[in-house]
Amino acid sequence: MRKILNIAWKDLISAFREPGVVIMMLVTPFALTLVMGFAFGAFGGGNAGPAGIPMTIVNHDAGEFGQRLVRMLEADGLADLLVVTVLSDDAAARAAVDADQSAAAVIVPADFSEAVVPAGLSQGDTSGLQGAQPVTIELYANPTRPVSAGVVRTVAERFIDVASAQRSAGLVVVGQIVGNRLADPQAMAQQGAAIGHRVGDQVASTSLVRVVGESDAAGQSNFDWLGYMAPSMAILFLMFTVSAGGRTILLERDLGTLPRMLTTPTGAAQVLGGKVLGTYLTGLAQMIILFVASTLLLGVHWGAPAPVAALLLSLVAAGTGWGMLIAAYSKTTGQANAVGTALSLTFGALAGNFVVRDLLPDVLKKASLITPNAWGLDGFKALAAGGTLADVALPIAALWGMAAITFALAVVAFRRQAAQ
């Protein structure tokens, strides 16, 4: 056991002394986590999602609703989201979009207000409503900014909803009073607009239907990018570390230190045990450093310490198994390097280390269960949501199972090589 520890310790020290290894092991995953945190506004309190979207509006409607749309877009409440430029010329607005200075141009037709409240309505003439087709507000979208254009569209549609609610309110109140002969139609028609406004404002500001969220995590409604990406990047780069660990067996063979170890009174099983433990400890050290750094420096919430530790131990074991397997079936260090990197990246892509795992199609989600990455991601997701040891029992069992299988296969190959 002492010799196993001696070998493992030597490997751990050597790994952390290689600048190239440290870059791959610690710097890159941390940098990527930071970048993603920055990209998705995890710092400075901002929520994920677009902000400061440049847009232009051309209002051809002299009526009330066109004006109100412009005022709403320019209102303080949307100041963070939208940067609005008002133009009078359709062509200029489109040109701004084409030049990528604007995410979308909203073009309000001259008859917008008329469509919402036909002129005759206040005289009690409801003919303007009969079979009226809705008018079209054009949204000239910038194809290179689909998400921003989508946001502008949502804002415009919200406004139409409010206008629709106001109009409906006026029509319903007046319609019912007149229909039930509670008051003189002529007098009511004139009040219609005022009632519409009053009721409409009330409708826009209150909601009778409340959706009471019962999120599986405590108080999280927005997607927490950092919370997803910190474990995700750590897992991705753990695979690089363990495959590099396995590769040191081949490296030591070429270097002559492996045969030299076998000339000392040390059994082959002990030597292999030391190499495996060294890889395991290196991977574990990497995960712990990334865990501590992301918790302290980025404020990432991984979950309760005990289950996180249990999951980390299992994850690194499964990863180490894969690292050994790659080494066992590679002939040269170059081969092991290429296969290791390729497998690490492919596992990452399959399991959802690059895109969010939830978005992957089911086939891929199932297929990726052969990777430690997938189980790790599932496990950390459960823990970040406040899960306990019981919630990650399945991932932990699966990871140890994977470790056992990969390690057994690796030993078979190592045996066959030693026999020659």
Partner 1 sequence: MSAIVQVQQLAKRYMPGDVLAVKGVSFEIQEGEIFSLLGPNGAGKTTTISMLSGLLAPTGGEAAIGGRSILREPLAVKSIIGVVPQEIALYDALSARENLLFWGRMHGMSGKPLQARVDEVLEQIGLRDRAGDRIRTYSGGMKRRVNIGVGLLHRPRLVFMDEPTVGIDPQSRRNILDMVKELNRQGMTVLYTTHYMEEAQELSDRVGIMDHGELIALGTQRELTQMVGEHEALRLHLNEGDSADKVAEAVATVPGVLQASATDHQVVATVAEADEMLAAVITRASEAGARIRTVDIEEPNLETVFLHLTGRALRD
Partner 2 sequence: MRKILAIAWNDIVIEFSDRATLIFFLVLPVIFTAVVGVGLRSAYTAPDPNADNRYPVPVVDEDRSALSAQFVELLSNSAVMRPVAYEREEAARVYEEDNLAGLLVIPSGFGERLLAGEAADLALRQPSNDTRALAVGEAISAAGSRLSTAALIAQSSVAEAERLRPFADAAARAAYFQQGYQMALEFLEQPPATVEVTRSAQAQVVTDLGSSMDQASAGQLVTWVLITLVGAAELFVNERLGGTLRRLLVTPTRKATVLTGKIGGRLAMGLVQMLLLVVIGATVFGVNWGRSVPALAIMLLAFGLAAVALGTLVGTIAKTRGQASGLTTMISMVGAALGGAWWPLEITPPAYQTAVKALPTTWAMTGLKDVIVAGQGVSGILPEAGILLGFAALFLALGIWRFRYE
DSSP 7: H
| 98-157 residues near partner 1, rule: CB under 8 A | none
Closer residue to partner 2 (CB): 71 or 210: 210
User: What is residue 52's three-state secondary structure?
Assistant: coil
* Residue 407 interacting with partner 2 (CB under 8 A): no
408 binds, among partner 1, partner 2, none (CB under 5 to 8 A by kind): none
| 148-177 residues near partner 2, rule: CB under 8 A | 148-150, 153, 156-157, 160-161, 163-165, 167-169, 171-173, 175-177
- Measure the N-to-C terminal CA separation of the chain; round to a whole number of Å: 27
331 binds, among partner 1, partner 2, none (CB under 5 to 8 A by kind): none
- Exactly one of 44, 131, 219, 256 binds partner 1 (CB under 8 A); that residue is 256
Instruction: Pull the structure tokens for residue 162.
Output: 């409010």
User: What is residue 179's three-state secondary structure?
Assistant: helix
188 in Cβ contact with 127 (< 8 Å): no
251 binds, among partner 1, partner 2, none (CB under 5 to 8 A by kind): none
* Cα 399 to Cα 1: distance, rounded to the nearest angstrom: 25
Site pattern 125..144 for partner 2 (x: CB under 8 A): -------x-xxxxxxxxxxx
Tokens 């081949």 correspond to 250
* Residue 147 interacting with partner 2 (CB under 8 A): yes
Closer residue to partner 1 (CB): 13 or 75: 13
* Cα 96 to Cα 106: distance, rounded to the nearest angstrom: 12
Tell the smallest beta-carbon distance from residue 52 to partner 2 (Å).
4
* Residue 209 interacting with partner 2 (CB under 8 A): yes
104-108: strand order across its sheet: 82-87, 53-59, 104-108
- Exactly one of 6, 28, 126, 295 binds partner 2 (CB under 8 A); that residue is 28
DSSP-derived pairing of the beta strands 104-108 and 82-87? unpaired
Closer residue to partner 2 (CB): 32 or 250: 32
- Exactly one of 144, 154, 202, 257 binds partner 1 (CB under 8 A); that residue is 257
User: What is residue 68's three-state secondary structure?
Assistant: helix
Closer residue to partner 1 (CB): 13 or 194: 13
User: What is residue 97's three-state secondary structure?
Assistant: helix
* Residue 410 interacting with partner 2 (CB under 8 A): no
Q: Which residues contact 91 (CB under 8 A, 6 or more apart)?
A: none
Closer residue to partner 1 (CB): 127 or 257: 257
Total interface residues for partner 2 by CB under 8 A: 118
* Residue 13 interacting with partner 1 (CB under 8 A): yes
User: What is residue 84's three-state secondary structure?
Assistant: strand
Total interface residues for partner 1 by CB under 8 A: 21
Among 167, 63, 166, which Cα is nearest to 113's? 63
| 263-302 residues near partner 1, rule: CB under 8 A | 263-267
Please give the single-letter amino acid code of residue 184: D
Relative orientation angle of helices 268-298 and 305-328, to the nearest 10 degrees: 140
Contacting residues toward partner 1, per CB under 8 A: 2-3, 6-7, 10, 13-14, 17-18, 255-257, 259-267
